Structure 1
Amino acid sequence: MILWAVRWYCKYGISYRELQEMLAERGVNVDHTTIYRWVQRYAPEMEKRLRWYWRNPTDRHSWHLDETYVKVNGKWAYLYRAVDQRGHILNFYLSSRRNTKSAYCFLAKIFNHVKKWQIPRVINTDKAPTYAGALSRLKREGKCPTDLERRQIKYKNNVIECDHGKLKRIIKATLGFKSMKTAYATIKGIKVMRARRKGQASSFYYGQTQAEVCLINRVFGI
């Protein structure tokens, strides 16, 4: 039941109190603060165990990088995100600042989780100058190909711009996060549920009707 609650919260954009009512209707009486603790404990674990099933990008044509805003402890934080040409999720990075250091950490995180042959020829970003400095540093350090091209054409990033809205609808139900730690843990769970919904692990479903439930149960040994 704990995994059901965590999965529902990260997938459907509901509040902890609404989820408490849903569970009560099914005969499970649990306080919303307990559900909060479940999400903080098991959302990152769920992402960790399912990451292998979908982590590698399959589209080498181009990646799309952009930032959006999330509220953390009453202040806006920057959520860096990356998807491939088909909208499949690559990774994310949460930062309190929007600067070259944050862009560097974000890009380094992506390159550290992919093989060299999976890196595309082109990455699309907005016109933020921070990416230029970050990419130059990564190329000097040998962490990305020197011939990697960066494009700054606005309409090219419609893929990720549209995806921001779908993600924000889920995050909106949280009414903001209390800390960067809790935001990061929750977004990890939301990320993996979004990846599942996009069919990024469909090759492991084996034709089962309740594929998502079966896969999660399998990785947790239930």
Structure 2
Amino acid sequence: MITVDKNPAYPVAIQELKEEKHMPEGMQLRQANYLNNIVEQDHRFIKKRVRSMLGLKSFHTATSIISGIEAMHMVKKGQLILLDKSVQNQVKFIHQLFGIVA
């Protein structure tokens, strides 16, 4: 499911993507003013970090940096499912996520 605001261009674009087989046929589009605001608020954290770096120059760099920012944001918001929420377990999670040998 894709959540977007009420911009009338979205349904047309999604339909074109489905016809061109760039998006699965079963993908649903949900248009709502307030649901998209929640997503935008969460992205504000990423935008703040990326803006200070003057943007991202390559796709590889963008993938790496945004993955790291998202992971740390998840830890900060308590969105991890860990049996023991100690700092040590959070550190182990980050090391496993990024393949860091401790």
The bucket for the TM-score relative to the shorter chain is: 0.5 to 0.7
Deviation at 1:180, TM superposition (A): 4.0
2:13 corresponds to: 133
Matching of residue 193 in structure 1 with residue 79 in structure 2:
no
Residues 46 and 66 of structure 2 are in contact (CA less than 8 Å); yes or no, is this contact kept in structure 1? no
The 3-state SS of whatever aligns with 2:30 is strand
Which stretches in structure 2 are left out of the alignment for 5+ residues? none
Deviation at 1:130, TM superposition (A): 4.5
Deviation at 1:187, TM superposition (A): 1.9
- Could you say if the C-alpha distance between residues 217 and 165 of structure 1 is closer, same or farther in structure 2, counting changes exceeding 3 Å? closer
Which segments of structure 1 move beyond 6 Å, counting only runs of 4 or more? none
Give the letter for the 1:204 counterpart: L
For residues 215 and 128 of structure 1, the distance between their equivalents in structure 2, rounded to whole angstroms, comes to: 41
For residues 159 and 134 of structure 1, the distance between their equivalents in structure 2, rounded to whole angstroms, comes to: 21
Deviations 1:93-130 (A, max 9, x none): xxxxxxxxxxxxxxxxxxxxxxxxxxx5xx42121624
Deviation at 1:183, TM superposition (A): 2.9
Q: How many residues align?
A: 98
Higher strand share: 1
The 3-state SS of whatever aligns with 1:185 is helix
For residues 51 and 30 of structure 2, the distance between their equivalents in structure 1, rounded to whole angstroms, comes to: 31
1:141-156 superposed matches below 5 A: 141=21, 143-145=24-26, 148-151=28-31, 153-156=32-35
For residues 181 and 221 of structure 1, the distance between their equivalents in structure 2, rounded to whole angstroms, comes to: 22
RMSD between superposed Cα atoms in Å: 3.3
Deviation at 1:159, TM superposition (A): 0.1
Deviations 1:160-217 (A, max 9, x none): 121232222222331333344423332222222223323332x225232333213234
Residues 4 and 30 of structure 2 are in contact (CA less than 8 Å); yes or no, is this contact kept in structure 1? yes
Higher helix share: 2
1:216 corresponds to: 94
Which stretches in structure 1 are left out of the alignment for 5+ residues? 1-119
For residues 218 and 184 of structure 1, the distance between their equivalents in structure 2, rounded to whole angstroms, comes to: 17
For residues 139 and 217 of structure 1, the distance between their equivalents in structure 2, rounded to whole angstroms, comes to: 41
Deviations 1:128-152 (A, max 9, x none): 6245333454388582427x3532x
Give the letter for the 2:89 counterpart: A
Give the letter for the 1:145 counterpart: G
- Could you say if the C-alpha distance between residues 149 and 169 of structure 1 is closer, same or farther in structure 2, counting changes exceeding 3 Å? closer
Give the letter for the 2:13 counterpart: G
Kindly, what percent of the aligned residue pairs are identical?
27
